[in-house]
Structure 1
Amino acid sequence: MEKKLLEHGLNLNRRKFLSRLSLGLGSAALGSLLIPDLFRGQSKEEDAIMAALPHFAPKAKRVIYLFQNGAPSQLETFDYKPLLQKSYGQDLPESIRMGQRLTGMTADQERFPLVGSYYDFQQYGESRAWISSIFPYTAKVVDDLCIIKSMHTEAINHDPALTFFQTGAQVGNRPSMGSWLSYGLGSENSNLPAFCVLLSRGKGNGQGVYSKLWSNGFLDATHQGVQFSNSEDPVLYLRDPHSMSRTERRKMLDQIASMNELNYQEFNDPAITAKVQQYEMAYRMQTAVPEITDVSKEPDSIVKLYGPDCLVPGTYVANCLLARKLSESGVRFVQLYHQGWDQHGNLPNEMAQQAKDVDQASAALITDLKQRGLLDETLVIWGGEFGRTNYCQGKIQVDNYGRDHHPRAFSIWMAGGGVKPGIVYGETDEFGYNIVENPVHVHDFQATVLHLLGIDHERLTFKHLGRRYRLTDVSGHVVKDILV
């Protein structure tokens, strides 16, 4: 290794040597370890953008996003529509649909028979919000929630809709929301990444989850989401190689850093220093990650609160508990993906099982954060990529029906982190098809999340290929009515 460094150093002509002598290569290598942003290669304009953050006092310090992949039906969760029960089997009036586009799965249907929810609804809490019977634990914390019933999106199929929610665009190669926050705010804990990703699978029909959803896009690689697994090693390749001591590992990283700094001086490629930072983060995570992922020391009261599956790695319940531990330790953005919400058929049976997977744990997370005094500074989000149609897909049966994709109106909830608790925002028509009050677009949602973290969404930008990009693209408005 030292011989290679020497050979690299000799491979300099006189002009290169004199021009770089003042830089001090040894100091540069050490500086990159002590000051991670030393060689970011940002422009003065980007430096000014970063120096201004946060743009104003934040309400939230961090985010836990409980993404329900596959799109849970709003009509079986939080948007109660008794008219659908009365209109069972009748065709959706053309005056309601108004020729709006449908997916290829129902576009050829001759009829669009209306079907109400198989589950009962009741009003809960001081907000008197309607909650489905399959969410009894969520009903208990309803006064901590802000339920938004007027979400809408542009995408009608899963992959572009999911990508749109996470990155602000329906195509790939854009930074995810977590990456933007890592870029803008960094992590509160130097031993942990700013952006962590947790995956789980429910019992229903699943949709794929791809690494592009937590990609750094055109941002530095240090802002990519770090995926945790349910294996013996929560973060793969984190352990030292066999027969290598901690001291030897440190020496090896120092040598690699020195070589990388030499390459940086020659090629001026920020990706080189990003690698050095990633190596250093992995080294620091070797101590922090095993401690955080160890739930054996959690008291019985916490196990009872979340349910016994919180001790089973890789379950949604365990990931909710891990999300609390990561967030509590200073991770800026924790993203959970729970698959299985794509109910095109057999909705009554599948959705009840899916709800059972997530209901207690989601409510427990709210309760856990609240009793630790962390809910006020932690924004929790629950929801999918779009909603579901009020008409049945295929053959209609009272106890066995399915719903197609519906981007025009759907529901999510938010809690903590500067959001008003115990309110219901927005409304759909009596058929649950169109929004009639306070519409919230995906970009509005993203702008609001950034605002709660002290960021003006129009000012958090990155210049790439001659254009300034941002999470909200060229639109988005903060939904001020839901803010404390």
Structure 2
Amino acid sequence: MPVRDPYACHDFAPATTRRAALQTLGAGFGSLALGGMCADLTAAEAAAGPVTPGSLTHHAARAKRVIFLFMHGGPAQMDTFEQKPLLTRDDGKSLPDRPGALKFNDASSKLLASPWKFKRYGQCGKAVSDLFPHVAEHVDDIAFLHGMHSRGQSHGQAVCMLHTGSDNLPRPSVGAWVSYGLGTENRDLPSFISLAPPGGHGGPRNYGPAFLPAEHQATAIGRGGRLGAGTVKHLARPEALSEDRRAAQLGLLADLNADYSDCIAEAAGQPDAAVEGAVRGFELAHRMAGVAPDVLDLSQETKETHALYGVGEKPTDGFGRECLLARRLCEAGVRYVQVSTGYDWDQHGGLKKGHEANAGKVDRPIAGLLTDLKRRGLLEDTLVVWGGEFGRTATAQGKDGRDHNPSGFTMWMAGGGAKGGHSHGATDEYGAYAVEGRTHMHDLHATMLHLLGLNHERLTYRHAGRDFRLTDVAGRVVNEVIA
């Protein structure tokens, strides 16, 4: 069966206008006393209720939601989660030529050994570098994909490829596709929230809906790896404005939008998508005003929980607050939460100093997130995905740096049906190119959708005369990493 658009009931036929629907239900913004009336624009949508696994999916879902941990800049695979003893042995030697291999910017041909030691952890005996001692304690819950490869040697291309499945053309982001396919578990909150998203390298494209309906765009909190106050702006009613006055303003706005939408629908034979998106945005903002401040309030957590994530401590406070907020949002029913570092992992020079500083900010918060999700029973149906837009070269750039490398790198998944304690694929003996279990970015996206109960070939949206999907015309589910 095709995936039902959770909002398909809003695609009114010309004979049924938004104004008529609002009047039929006695809704609109005229009375704030009705509270959640904005969630009930049509009887069909109201009857649908919260989405449960299997109700809107192609097959049984293993995960209800996703937390995507984005390491902006590209961590080095051979310095984090894929040990390469031969790289250490042959430090300073030339990297052997590989026919057809991607040539990099100005990286030398001299191999650069990892400056970190690796230790084995867990029952699976997974080797992890000293950069991630806290995450290493969770390897039995993690499925590692060591054969990742992607398109885009530049950050802008690769970041967009990671977030939208396209390295050049505007396409809906992964979170927007998930929102479109599954809808929301909590009608008073967005289905997609992006915490501290990148300001560059695609910017809003990385959390935007492109040609999907506008309500599937993420609500962004913070920017560029900085959460800031951790609040959604402009939700609260101005103190100088009475509730009656606010209700009158919102009622007028709803009437104006309805009039305009009806005129467009009468002339064009269908509603205006931009107006419909704006109206739904106002409606959601109204509902969020009574719910979001409580969900975003980290002071409600215990001191023990703050300590678990490293909140209030250096250098973990910033990313710790993002991870803790991600857990609270998932607990409240948000479908897709993206958590971003700053543009930190791009060590063309100063590899040891840079990667140590970056890992020091995120290692403990990520481990805290996995611990917290597991003890609350949320890890079982929450898919946590970790990675950057690409990896780094096995050869040196300058004295002690690594260049960009989309030809082979590591990402990992935990919870939500991922096979814990399992490593799939590998780069070559030096960590330069994916040679086993090669997993394209489209394959990763197909696997994520599969775990959410969605067939990536059937989750489509018709635009400009053709059916589009997240994985374009490619992608396969990586069954090897599914429990």
Q: Secondary structure at the match of 1:66?
A: strand
- The structure-2 alpha-carbon separation of the partners of 1:250 and 1:121, relative to structure 1 and needing over 3 Å to count, comes to same
Q: In the alignment, what sits opposite 1:478?
A: 477
Conserved 8 A contact 2:460-2:467? yes
Larger radius of gyration: 1
The structural deviation recorded for 1:295 is 1.3
Q: Secondary structure at the match of 1:449?
A: helix
1:289-336 per-residue CA deviation (whole Å, 9 max, x = no partner) reads 211111112112212211133799981110000000000100000011
The structural deviation recorded for 1:245 is 2.5
The structural deviation recorded for 1:184 is 1.1
Conserved 8 A contact 1:207-1:342? no
Q: Which of 377, 382, 386 is the aligned partner of 1:382?
A: 386
Q: In the alignment, what sits opposite 1:43?
A: none
Map 1:431-450 onto structure 2 (within 5 A): 431-450=430-449
- The structure-2 alpha-carbon separation of the partners of 1:435 and 1:312, relative to structure 1 and needing over 3 Å to count, comes to closer
Q: In the alignment, what sits opposite 2:31?
A: none
Conserved 8 A contact 1:75-1:81? yes
The structural deviation recorded for 1:37 is 7.0
Q: Secondary structure at the match of 1:83?
A: helix
- The structure-2 alpha-carbon separation of the partners of 1:23 and 1:218, relative to structure 1 and needing over 3 Å to count, comes to closer
Q: In the alignment, what sits opposite 1:358?
A: 362
The structural deviation recorded for 1:36 is 4.7
1:182-222 per-residue CA deviation (whole Å, 9 max, x = no partner) reads 11111101110000011179xxxx97561111111011111
Provide the rounded CA distance (Å) in 2 between the counterparts of 1:483 and 1:153: 21
Conserved 8 A contact 2:310-2:317? no
1:372-407 per-residue CA deviation (whole Å, 9 max, x = no partner) reads 000001000110011111000123xxxxx1001111
Q: In the alignment, what sits opposite 2:467?
A: 468
Provide the rounded CA distance (Å) in 2 between the counterparts of 1:352 and 1:279: 43
The structural deviation recorded for 1:133 is 0.6
Q: Please, what TM-score do these two structures have when normalized by structure 2?
A: 0.86
Provide the rounded CA distance (Å) in 2 between the counterparts of 1:393 and 1:333: 36
- Number of residue-to-residue matches in the alignment: 442
The structural deviation recorded for 1:172 is 4.3
Letter aligned with residue 377 of structure 1: D
- The structure-2 alpha-carbon separation of the partners of 1:259 and 1:154, relative to structure 1 and needing over 3 Å to count, comes to same
1:367 matches 2:367: no
Q: In the alignment, what sits opposite 1:280?
A: 283
Conserved 8 A contact 1:295-1:311? no
Letter aligned with residue 277 of structure 1: R
1:54-103 per-residue CA deviation (whole Å, 9 max, x = no partner) reads 11111000000000010000010011111111111111111xx3252323
Provide the rounded CA distance (Å) in 2 between the counterparts of 1:183 and 1:28: 26
Letter aligned with residue 371 of structure 1: R
Q: Please, what TM-score do these two structures have when normalized by structure 1?
A: 0.86
Q: In the alignment, what sits opposite 1:61?
A: 64
Provide the rounded CA distance (Å) in 2 between the counterparts of 1:21 and 1:482: 47
1:5-53 per-residue CA deviation (whole Å, 9 max, x = no partner) reads xxxxxxxxxxxxxx8899847626856745457999xxxxxxxxxx983
Provide the rounded CA distance (Å) in 2 between the counterparts of 1:349 and 1:312: 14
Letter aligned with residue 435 of structure 2: V
Q: Which of 152, 157, 162 is the aligned partner of 1:160?
A: 157
Provide the rounded CA distance (Å) in 1 between the counterparts of 2:197 and 2:204: 14
1:265 matches 2:275: no
Provide the rounded CA distance (Å) in 2 between the counterparts of 1:22 and 1:128: 59
Provide the rounded CA distance (Å) in 1 between the counterparts of 2:314 and 2:197: 14
Q: In the alignment, what sits opposite 1:195?
A: 192
Structure 2: 5+ residue stretches without partners: 1-14, 29-37, 46-53, 266-271
Map 1:414-425 onto structure 2 (within 5 A): 414-425=413-424
1:413 matches 2:412: yes
Provide the rounded CA distance (Å) in 1 between the counterparts of 2:345 and 2:113: 18
Q: Which of 149, 156, 177 is the aligned partner of 1:180?
A: 177
- The structure-2 alpha-carbon separation of the partners of 1:235 and 1:356, relative to structure 1 and needing over 3 Å to count, comes to same
Q: Provide the identity percentage.
A: 40
- The structure-2 alpha-carbon separation of the partners of 1:143 and 1:21, relative to structure 1 and needing over 3 Å to count, comes to closer
Letter aligned with residue 291 of structure 1: D
1:326 matches 2:329: yes
Structure 1: 5+ residue stretches without partners: 1-18, 41-50, 396-400
The structural deviation recorded for 1:241 is 2.9
